[in-house]
């Protein structure tokens, strides 16, 4: 048999060499291929069905090997890839999980739990449906009762005191490890049960459970895990404990802020339009281009409001002649000033002295309202004379750096969705809605009573709303998107904007602390306080990202506890907080992305917030750049330097940890594994954060917006074709045709007919591109009036910004974790790909030797 095998291999070897020789391969290639075949035959069963399949499809199974011109590195790639393929073949996960009885048992148990949870949830939902209704009417009635009924308010306060005392008892009750495990197992089961009950009251219960579990963890940390053996160890341990206390405070305040959100709907205006109030529209601008402000100005002119009661003002702090000419040509009032003090706030205050409308509407120059903006917001100001502010959500029709660079689906909630779409609803419950600087309506008399827009800080908007609340004015939040703007278009611009926000909120904290002074309720104080301390997350986040490293580098215990105690206290704390936040933030924040957002910003907001705490008058207003293009994909190495330093430190800690785990005594291995797991998670977050610094190409200076609505195309010969608009910008449209696209050619002139609110408009266009059943065309406007009409059909279309994006996002906890891992892989892959110089080439060369996942798999083999 041995002789037979040798003869078979020799015949095969000779045939392969002859085939390569006939193809003109060099002597080096022949030697290398021969060596590869010899090594493969010695160690791998090449005669098996699997390896025959591999040989026949070698370009698929060895995608990184150039078989036409093999080099020495290719030989190493072949050997490593062959071992990898053998491992994948032997331990094929899909086949193993499908056939393994243990796996089948686990799946059946999980399926049983899921069915049990659904059954419990169904019963619980029916039982608590009356208590936990989430409708606006129920929330409004509850809020009114709490405010008006003093006796009920007293009862609620008494209940809160009793609940707090019971929670304190649960938090401080001493348990041994066994008792702690039993207690938390019961609590975890209770939390699991309540996650399946769809009622508002269940979220309250989850808040209580989360606070209790996290409170026990912090009590344990403060009383049992600090060992003052050395100064440095005590300092590092206290730093981590302070960061955890900060996170706990923010968590509890966040729970309070949104424990019962108020989903306020528009209230109707009087039927007689002659009684509607006068409104001044302010559009402040400084250095933005004319093409950025045009959609906003046109949309303001298209607002559904009596024309004799609507005045649009362009507030140009750049004093540009072209803007004055444009304003005159479209019929809006142009306002400029001589002294340019206090930036945007000063610009608006100057215009307040030159106008007289009963209500003021402020739009950032890139925030485009739909035509129903005023009819959806002013009704509350007319109905309630104590309301000074009606704020609407900030939505954006261009992707922010996280959406663009992480390739997030449009249906996925964006970075600021949590605040603008959810937390503001909670603020509305407590009469603490924050003015966001744009897309809001304000009562002039209230604004004048506080001396106009606040000028003491660089976040004039939030400070203005705080001043209004101090004087007893009410605020409201309409949760329907009624305007949309341009996002920051690069990570550096995004960070610059957030630095200003962070500095300004800390300035307010120092100069007009909501916890002090008169005029605010306790709930209002807590809501404003939480909004401010949120921007102090820079140092705590950095501490969490380096906390496991002292133990790896110098055997310093930042948490002095056994591995069993850590599992009994730390893991439940993290699990309960994660479960509660996932349910709370579902639809507004994707799982695990909060850590990425904070990791990106933490270093950059640390210094400004620290300076603002010490010197609150320092800092100036910075305008965010809008309307840019990115021609080539690149890494912003400058902005990513802090992330790279943190990655390097954690990689060093990981290497040391793995070495220690392999050589340490058994008693230390568990502790090392816990720290290694912490470092791996930090590396995942940092990898995803670096991925945000990989700036993707942005070809269009003017973003394209999705809108699917029927249109008609009229060709040059008069033929009319039914079609559907897919996307539009200020100058272009993308249209899908059901028939007749073969009749069109490039540069053909066509007419696009669009209908809105019962009126049809016709626009001339020139065909730029034809692709399958779609065409792209450049609009040709004869004058400003045609542009205004197109704006009426698109940007200002009724309900335009309330259209939900297509698609559905899987927001499950495990899916979020896997997405985070995917973002991290993309980040590290990009880091290697764009690493400059000799180091980059060396690293890319070494990594090119590593095995690759085959391009395809044969179902018969794998």
Residue-wise over 219-236: b if at least 16 C-beta within 10 A, else e?
A: bbbeeebbeeeeeebeeb
Q: Which stretches of 419-487 are DSSP H helices?
A: 424-429, 444-449, 460-470
Distance, CA of 587 to CA of 819 (rounded, Å): 16
Length of the chain: 862
Distance, CA of 46 to CA of 649 (rounded, Å): 44
> In terms of Cα–Cα distance, which of 275, 280, 294 is closest to 366?
294
Neighbours of 193 (CB within 10 A): 16
**What six digits make up the tokens of 559?**
């948490």
Q: Which residues, 6+ apart, have CB-to-CB distance to 559 below 8 Å?
A: 221, 225, 237, 240, 566, 570
* Long-range contact set of residues 4-10: C-beta below 8 Å, sequence gap at least 24: 5/47, 8/47, 9/41
The answer to whether 379 touches 267, Cβ cutoff 8 Å, is yes
Question: What are the catalytic residues?
Answer: 317, 461
**What six digits make up the tokens of 407?**
């390739």
Q: What is the DSSP letter of 277?
A: P
Distance, CA of 769 to CA of 775 (rounded, Å): 6
- DSSP per position, 771-825: ETTEEEEEEE-SSHHHHHHHHHHTTT-TTGGGPPPSS-----HHHHHHHHHHHHH
E strand or H helix that includes residue 139: helix 136-148
The answer to whether 605 touches 662, Cβ cutoff 8 Å, is no
> In terms of Cα–Cα distance, which of 741, 742, 743, 723 is closest to 733?
723
The answer to whether 595 touches 684, Cβ cutoff 8 Å, is no
Q: What is the DSSP letter of 274?
A: G
Distance, CA of 853 to CA of 89 (rounded, Å): 12
Q: Scan for tokens 């090392």, then name that residue.
A: 672
E strand or H helix that includes residue 283: strand 279-285
Residue-wise over 150-184: b if at least 16 C-beta within 10 A, else e?
A: eeeeeeeeeeeeeeeeebeebbeeeeeeeebbebb
**What six digits make up the tokens of 619?**
């800092």
The answer to whether 734 touches 726, Cβ cutoff 8 Å, is yes
Rounded to the nearest 10°, the torsion over CA 314, 319, 320, 325 is 50
């Amino acid at each position: 048999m041995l002789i037979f095998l040798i003869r078979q291999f020799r015949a095969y070897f000779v045939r392969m060499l002859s085939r390569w020789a006939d193809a003109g391969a060099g002597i080096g290639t022949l030697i290398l291929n021969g060596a590869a075949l010899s090594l493969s035959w010695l160690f791998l069963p090449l005669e098996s069905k699997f390896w025959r399949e591999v040989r026949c499809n070698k370009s698929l199974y060895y995608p990184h090997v150039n078989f036409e011109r093999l080099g020495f590195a290719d030989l190493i790639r072949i050997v490593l890839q062959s071992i990898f393929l053998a491992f994948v073949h032997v331990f094929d996960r899909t086949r193993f999980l499908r056939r393994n009885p243990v796996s089948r048992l686990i799946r059946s148990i999980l399926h049983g739990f899921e069915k049990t949870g659904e059954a419990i949830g169904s019963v619980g939902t029916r039982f608590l449906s009356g208590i936990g209704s989430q409708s606006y009417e129920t929330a409004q009635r509850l809020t009114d009762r709490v405010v008006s009924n003093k006796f009920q308010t007293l009862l609620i306060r008494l209940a809160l005191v009793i609940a707090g005392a019971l929670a304190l008892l649960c938090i401080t009750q001493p348990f041994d490890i066994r008792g702690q495990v039993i207690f938390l197992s019961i609590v975890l089961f209770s939390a699991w049960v309540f996650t399946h009950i769809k009622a508002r009251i269940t979220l309250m219960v989850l808040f209580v459970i989360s606070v209790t579990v996290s409170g026990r963890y912090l009590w344990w940390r403060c009383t049992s895990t600090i060992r003052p053996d050395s100064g440095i160890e005590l300092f590092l341990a206290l730093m981590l404990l302070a960061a955890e206390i900060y996170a706990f405070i923010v968590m509890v305040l966040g729970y309070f802020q949104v424990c019962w959100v108020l989903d306020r709907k528009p209230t109707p205006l009087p039927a007689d339009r002659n009684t509607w109030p006068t409104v001044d529209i302010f559009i402040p601008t400084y250095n933005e281009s004319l093409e950025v402000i045009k959609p906003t100005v046109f949309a303001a002119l298209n607002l559904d409001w009596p024309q004799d009661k609507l005045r649009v003002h362009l507030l140009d702090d750049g004093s540009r002649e072209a803007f004055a000419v444009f304003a005159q040509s479209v019929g809006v009032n142009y306002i400029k000033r001589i002294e340019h003090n206090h930036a945007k706030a000063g610009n608006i205050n100057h215009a307040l002295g030159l106008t007289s409308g009963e209500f003021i509407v402020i739009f950032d120059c890139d925030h485009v309202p739909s035509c129903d903006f005023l009819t959806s917001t002013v009704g509350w100001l007319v109905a309630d004379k104590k309301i000074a502010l009606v704020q609407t959500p900030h939505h954006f029709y261009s992707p922010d750096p996280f959406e663009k660079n992480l390739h997030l689906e449009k249906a996925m909630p964006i970075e600021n969705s949590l605040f603008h779409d959810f937390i503001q609803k909670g603020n509305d419950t407590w009469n603490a809605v924050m003015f966001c600087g744009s897309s809001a309506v304000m009562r002039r008399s209230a604004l004048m009573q506080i001396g106009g827009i606040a000028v003491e800080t660089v976040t004039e908007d939030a400070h203005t709303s705080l001043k209004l609340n101090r004087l007893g004015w009410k605020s409201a939040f309409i949760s329907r998107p009624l305007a949309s703007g341009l996002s920051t278009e690069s990570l550096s611009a995004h960070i610059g904007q957030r630095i200003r926000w962070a500095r300004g909120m800390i300035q307010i904290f120092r100069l007009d602390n909501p916890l002090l002074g008169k005029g605010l309720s306790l709930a209002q104080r807590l809501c404003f306080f939480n909004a401010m301390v949120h921007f102090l997350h820079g140092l705590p986040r950095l501490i969490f990202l380096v906390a496991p490293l002292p133990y790896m580098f110098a055997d310093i215990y930042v948490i002095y506890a056994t591995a069993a105690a850590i599992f009994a206290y730390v893991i439940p704390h993290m699990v309960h907080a994660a479960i509660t936040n996932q349910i709370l933030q579902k639809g507004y924040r994707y799982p695990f992305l909060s850590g990425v957002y904070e990791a990106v910003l933490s270093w950059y907001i640390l210094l400004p917030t620290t300076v603002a705490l010490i010197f609150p008058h320092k800092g100036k207003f910075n305008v965010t750049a809008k309307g840019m293009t990115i021609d080539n994909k690149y890494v912003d190495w400058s902005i990513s330097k802090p992330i790279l330093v943190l990655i390097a430190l954690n990689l060093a800690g990981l290497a040391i940890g793995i070495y220690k785990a392999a050589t340490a005594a058994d008693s230390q291995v568990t502790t090392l594994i816990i720290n290694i797991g912490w470092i791996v998670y930090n590396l995942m977050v940092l990898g995803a954060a670096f991925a945000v610094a990989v700036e993707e190409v942005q070809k269009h200076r003017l973003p394209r917006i999705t809108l699917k609505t029927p249109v008609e195309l009229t060709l040059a010969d008069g033929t009319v074709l039914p079609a559907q608009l897919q996307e539009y910008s200020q100058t272009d449209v993308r249209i899908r045709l059901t028939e007749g696209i073969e009749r069109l050619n490039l540069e053909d002139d066509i007419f696009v007919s669009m209908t809105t609110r019962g009126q049809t408009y016709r626009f001339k266009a020139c065909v730029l591109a034809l692709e399958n059943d779609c065409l792209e065309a450049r609009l040709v406007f004869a004058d400003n009036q045609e542009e205004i009409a197109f704006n009426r059909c698109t940007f200002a279309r009724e309900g335009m910004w309330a259209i939900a994006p297509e698609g559905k996002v899987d927001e499950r906890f495990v899916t979020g974790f896997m997405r985070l891992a995917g973002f991290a892989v993309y980040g590290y892959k990009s880091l290697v790909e764009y690493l400059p110089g000799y180091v980059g080439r060396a690293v890319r060369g070494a990594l090119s030797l590593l095995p690759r996942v085959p391009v395809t798999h044969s179902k018969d083999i794998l």
